[in-house]
């Protein structure tokens, strides 16, 4: 059966859990699933110049930790302050859970438009070295979908983290 080409050109780059206790989740994933070598990004703040949440300028802080399972980046996020998609998710799922699957794309705007799903949050990190958009896949039975554009510099940062 032929399928239509995907509006997202890149591979699955990441899975992310939003959790109430990032250290406990790191420990669980390391001991049970062998996902270790966590790199803590510490507290990451997204201000109104970097992010939009539900159509309004955002201001929130999260703890972020990254590791790899083969070629797949595993991300843990713990909301700390402010309104965000992560805080909303944790309020609805106090034990935490799978929040999103991220797909890399070379053209974020075109991929967002082609996907045809509502954009819930979007923003950038590292002065624009990484840009992202969270799409609502709930009507299709999937978690949030993150579309992710990475500069070459950010790819190098992630490669260095992965190597340890």
Other Cβ atoms closer than 10 A to 80: 16
Beta-carbon contacts of residue 101 (< 8 Å; ≥ 6 apart): 12, 14, 15, 16, 142, 143, 144, 145, 146
- For the whole model, what pTM was predicted? 0.92
Yes or no: say if 121 and 139 are a contact pair by the CB < 8 Å rule: no
Asked whether the CA dihedral 21, 93, 124, 130 is positive or negative, the reply is positive
pLDDT on residue 98: 96
Domains of the chain: 12-163 (3.10.180.10)
* 4 token code pair: 């239509």
Look at residue 19 and tell me whether its pLDDT is greater than 70: yes
More confident residue, 2 or 29: 29
Given a cut of 80, whether residue 16 has pLDDT beyond it is: yes
What is d(CA 83, CA 61) in angstroms, rounded to the nearest whole number?
A: 9
Q: How confident is the model at residue 11 (pLDDT cuts 50, 70, 90)?
A: confident
Q: What are 124's strand-pairing partners?
A: 131
pLDDT, tens digit, 9 for 90 and up, residues 97-151: 999 999 999 999 999 999 999 999 999 998 999 999 999 999 998 889 999 999 9
């Amino acid at each position: 059966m032929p399928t239509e080409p995907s509006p997202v050109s890149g591979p699955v780059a990441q899975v992310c859990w939003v959790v109430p206790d990032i250290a406990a989740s790191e420990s669980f994933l390391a001991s049970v699933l062998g996902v270790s070598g966590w790199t803590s990004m510490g507290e990451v703040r997204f201000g109104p110049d970097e992010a939009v949440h539900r159509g309004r300028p955002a201001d929130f802080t999260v703890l972020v930790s990254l590791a790899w399972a083969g070629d797949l980046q595993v991300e843990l996020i713990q909301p700390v302050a402010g309104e965000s998609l992560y805080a909303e998710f944790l309020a609805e799922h106090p034990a935490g859970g799978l929040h999103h699957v991220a797909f890399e794309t070379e053209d974020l705007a075109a991929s967002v438009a082609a996907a045809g799903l509502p954009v819930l949050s979007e923003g950038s990190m590292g002065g624009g070295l990484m840009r992202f958009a969270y799409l609502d896949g709930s009507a299709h039975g999937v978690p949030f979908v993150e579309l992710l554009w990475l500069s070459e510099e950010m790819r190098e940062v992630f490669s260095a983290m992965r190597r340890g």
